[in-house]
Amino acid sequence: MTEDNFQKSSQYNRRPLWQWMLVLVVLLAAIGYGLMYYISKNNIDVANLFKSQQNNQQNNQQNNQQNNQANTVTITMENSAFSQPNITIRKGTTVVWVNNDDVLHTVTGDSNGPMSPDLKKGDSYSDTFIATGTFSYHCTYHPNMKGTVTVTD
């Protein structure tokens, strides 16, 4: 073996390591690129998934708020009239009557149902309806002030 050949041979011997490094770098680059491509491609789905989860949470919150709002109905008494004289509600709903008039009003069930004290301006009276049925009521001071609450399951 000449010196030249030896150098070539040693070069040749060294080369696999360098090649290994190159292969490793190329492999890592390929894996990295593939991974990034995979992530970037899936990221849209992941982002949408996250977004839709957020939307679901927001929807749930909105639904809860709506349910909370739906569980309370406010009826104002203005110009000697009930703002919503006839309402239909689900069992468990709370109805709040608020007197916005300068005169006294009451919420008095015709036979059963709500039975408020005298309500002066700004006063409110609430009743949670746990039994189904139709409850008609009136104001003891103003016989024309009438209303009904229909409670369904």
77 vs 151 by CB, closer to Cu ion: 77
Residues that bind Cu ion (CB under 5 A): 105, 139, 141-142, 145
Q: How far is the CB of 141 from Cu ion (least distance, A)?
A: 4
Position of tokens 């703002």? 83
Q: How far is the CB of 92 from Cu ion (least distance, A)?
A: 27
* Residue closest to Cu ion when measured from CB atoms: 139
- Residues 91 and 153 sit within 8 Å (Cβ to Cβ): yes
3-state SS string over the chain? CCHHHHHHHHHHHHHHHHHHHHHHHHHHHHHHHHHHHHHHHHHHHHHHHHHHHHHHHHHHHHHHHHHHHHCEEEEEEECCEECCCEEEEECCCEEEEEECCCCCECCEECCCCCECCCECCCCEEEEECCCCEEEEEECCCCCCCEEEEEEEC
Q: How far is the CB of 60 from Cu ion (least distance, A)?
A: 41
16 vs 85 by CB, closer to Cu ion: 85
12 vs 141 by CB, closer to Cu ion: 141
142 vs 146 by CB, closer to Cu ion: 142
Q: How far is the CB of 74 from Cu ion (least distance, A)?
A: 17
Q: How far is the CB of 101 from Cu ion (least distance, A)?
A: 7
105 vs 129 by CB, closer to Cu ion: 105
